[in-house]
A and B are shown apart, each in its own frame.
Chain A
């Protein structure tokens, strides 16, 4: 009961000075918002306002196929309408297309050269040119990929047809050539790369940054409970608590309870807030709750560890900030450090942050609550180990 009384007093103080609100909710939500607005768009081109110009100087079958059957169907001018990936502007001259790209009227201009169809049919070299706007390198690269994809397909068909010609030993006439080419193009590709986001366990950018910022700031938010031990000592009120008819354990428990409530509240508000305001998709709520609980316990463990070794609240606050940011960066809350491989990749897996994010990924991929248990266990283990280490020195913090 004394622990609850102490925790209620601490929470009143924290609410009054707004510190927990600031570090537990405002800062992580703000950063998640900024990151998902900036970086989320990079990961999701559909949210960009993209426009391309195309000029068909060829006028033949191959140019027509590229414009009408490749570009048009995925543009907003095609059957997808506003769901299309880009605006397509058809122009009639190369100069006009280049000017539009240079002026930034479009992100890239794709130029199908004159004699393109003849070159393809005769086996002569030819090139579809992409002129990108200097300020849109990524979107120009996307246009280049579309053109390159078409070129690869044309080359494949041409190789197939010429292989047949070589086998038959005679050159077919133009009509036969068209039939062969159409047949080769219609043949389904034997090998494709599948894309199944659920199975690949990849979080959306909004979810990744919401979760990353939440777990990073959780390690800062919980300090407002545990650091109270050092604040009580500095204020002289620790002596009063120790003189009261309560056990030393209940003082520590009170501080732990404060941290727990702040941590859980902060994460709950962030999960709900980012779901509705940032469109983050956290996954099964029970699974998320297990991970959040594990994350809070882990953050409390490291905070007790810091409090046990620090001499003043200021020193502990600084230490905790350094540790929180270091673990967050190493754990891949800003970018997936694990991809770097090597020592850095291995170190990344030592952090609870990396396992928290992995747990969310597992939850997204497998969809079952059980999927989070391995990650949650590691996250909790981190807190238990650091918390136990703190016990050896915590007695010094609970002293007059």
Chain B
């Protein structure tokens, strides 16, 4: 795996759970030992024993990592001191970050009294407090309500505008498309492709994504559809079939006819323009969205079991 991020650029690692996004970030931050290779941030190599070089990195872990019995301000101040900040510059920056993450009015409340979204924002605030050259956000919106998610995405957009390099991992295609200047498609610990959205979509070509919702002999229908000249790729999902098609509007009648002949009853048809999800499907043979939906369902179930609000 090899990639670089320029100042002011937001680079996305897009892949399903288990693809290796967190492992990659852990090696870049020096949390995990590498078997080989090197990580260079702001001209300095990062290893598990690096100290000064790590000052250039801001790290926002996937799980909320704040001290529940400290206030938001105390959390920020503590981590600021670890990064060598002191006195008025520290307190001034803490106030500034509290403003950015929208917690100024709750700054002196203990963080265990915060909502899930507020804790997420504090989690991010700690990472950007010391104005790092590179900020790494590991799936910062997992399990977050839509309103907080939007607030987080807006914050990240402002960061790159301010000249900070951002490494953003996600399994949400929409987030990658909205935030990232360049995206690396990652699966099984490998970057399958990287580039701007347009460059990646070009990998798939000008093909449309057709989603059939179907019942009956879905597997037989998928095999039949693979044989159609207009169909580039087909894969079965839980409630139907995903297709990459050349000229969807012209090919649609023959697709529906082939599916019906194979014994599948098509109940709805969605046609999408090419996007990163289609790229992922093309590169890995797997549907990113379904893996992501499964992951979200598991997180929701876990949150419910724990009595969480999200």
Contact = CB atoms under 8 A, between A and B. Distances in A.
Does A pair with B? yes
A243 B51 contact: no
A299 to B, nearest CB: 24
Interface residues of B, number: 32
A241 interface: yes
Interface string A313-329: 00000000000000000
A247 B49 contact: yes
A9 B26 contact: no
Contacts of A5: 78, 81-82
Contacts of A246: 51, 82
B83 interface: yes
Interface in A231-282: 235-237, 239-248
A13 B30 CA distance: 27
Contacts of A240: 59, 61, 65, 79, 126
Given A12-B70, A13-B70, A244 B79 contact: yes
A189 B123 CA distance: 84
A135 to B, nearest CB: 51
Contacts of A2: 82
B82 A239 contact: no
A244 B50 CA distance: 9
B61 A239 contact: yes
B69 interface: yes
A236 B66 CA distance: 8
B59 A243 contact: yes
A17 interface: yes
B67 A16 contact: no
A245 B78 CA distance: 13
Contacts of B207: none
User: Interface extent on A, as a size class?
Assistant: 20 to 34
Contacts of A245: 50-55, 82-84
A138 to B, nearest CB: 50
B69 A16 contact: yes
Interface in B89-133: 126
A241 B30 CA distance: 11
Contacts of B82: 2, 5-6, 241, 244-246
B233 interface: no
B74 interface: yes
B32 interface: yes
A34 B59 CA distance: 52
A250 B277 CA distance: 45
Nearest to A238: B65
Nearest to B50: A245
Interface in B30-89: 30-32, 48-55, 57, 59, 61, 63-70, 74, 78-79, 81-84
Contacts of B169: none
Chain B interface mostly? loop
Interface string B246-282: 0000000000000000000000000000000000000
B32 A236 contact: no
A9 B78 contact: yes
B10 interface: no
A243 B70 contact: no
B49 A235 contact: no
A60 interface: no
A257 to B, nearest CB: 15
Contacts of B70: 9, 12-13
A242 B31 contact: yes
A273 B135 CA distance: 51
A235 B69 CA distance: 12
A2 B52 CA distance: 13
A190 B156 CA distance: 96
A137 interface: no
Interface in B143-162: none
Nearest to B81: A5
A400 interface: yes
B29 interface: yes
A239 B79 CA distance: 12
A54 B26 CA distance: 87
A243 B30 contact: yes
Contacts of A400: 26, 31-32
A273 to B, nearest CB: 27
Contacts of A237: 65-67
A9 B69 contact: no
B48 to A, nearest CB: 8
Contacts of B74: 9, 12
Interface in A203-245: 235-237, 239-245
Contacts of A9: 67, 70, 74, 78
A235 B32 CA distance: 18
Interface in A106-149: none
Contacts of A244: 54, 79, 82-83
A241 to B, nearest CB: 7
The interface centre, meaning the residue of B59, B67, B83 with most chain A CB atoms within 10 A of its CB, is B67
A13 B69 CA distance: 7
Nearest to A2: B82
B31 to A, nearest CB: 5
A13 B83 CA distance: 20
B130 to A, nearest CB: 9
Nearest to B66: A237
Given A9-B74, A239-B59, 13 more contacts: A2-B82, A5-B81, A9-B78, A12-B74, A235-B67, A236-B61, A239-B61, A239-B65, A242-B29, A244-B83, A245-B50, A245-B51, A246-B51
15 contacts: A2-B82, A13-B69, A235-B65, A236-B61, A236-B63, A240-B61, A242-B31, A242-B48, A243-B30, A243-B59, A244-B54, A244-B82, A246-B82, A248-B49, A400-B31
Counting from the closest, the 7 A-B pairs by CB-CB distance are A236-B65, A243-B59, A245-B55, A245-B54, A244-B82, A243-B29, A236-B63
